[in-house]
Amino acid sequence: MTTRTATTHTFYIGVDDELPLLQEYLLNSDDTPIDLTNATSIKLWVWIFDSGVQTLIVDGEAGTFLDKPAGLVQFAFTASHTATRGEYQRRWKAEFPGTKLISVPNDRTHGYPVVIS
């Protein structure tokens, strides 16, 4: 299966494609891994702003933990997610016991880039 690991880099995927899988190390602002050992869920949001209107193409859908201590997570896009070309933003949210959340990235106003081409 085709995968591509990203950190703060732009993730590229073709229109209507389901591969590569997005694999990403979730990092603190100092580039150290976020330890997800005790995390209970990981979710992804992907959106675009067009003429001031936000459109979500991934709305809090579940990702997969690949290596919790290293902060490595994965998401599989579907053809419906990648149907429209554009430059999008992505943000992960990990949930910990007691419904405590951490968003990644958490050191900027915008998410990490996703380009559907």
117 residues of the chain, pLDDT tens digit each: 555 455 557 999 999 999 999 999 998 888 899 999 999 999 999 999 888 899 999 999 999 999 999 999 999 999 999 999 999 999 999 999 999 999 998 877 688 999 999
Looking up residue 57, the CATH number of its domain turns out to be 2.60.40.3350
Q: What is the residue whose two structure tokens read 């694999």?
A: 23
Q: What is the pLDDT of residue 7?
A: 52
Q: What is the pLDDT of residue 28?
A: 87
Query: Which residues span the domain enclosing 25?
Result: 3-116
Q: What is the pLDDT of residue 106?
A: 83
Bridge partners, 39 (sequence order): none
Structure tokens at 46: 């992907």
Structural domains of the chain, count: 1
Q: What is the pLDDT of residue 1?
A: 55
Q: What is the residue whose two structure tokens read 């990235």?
A: 105
Structure tokens at 87: 């430059």
Q: What is the pLDDT of residue 107?
A: 75
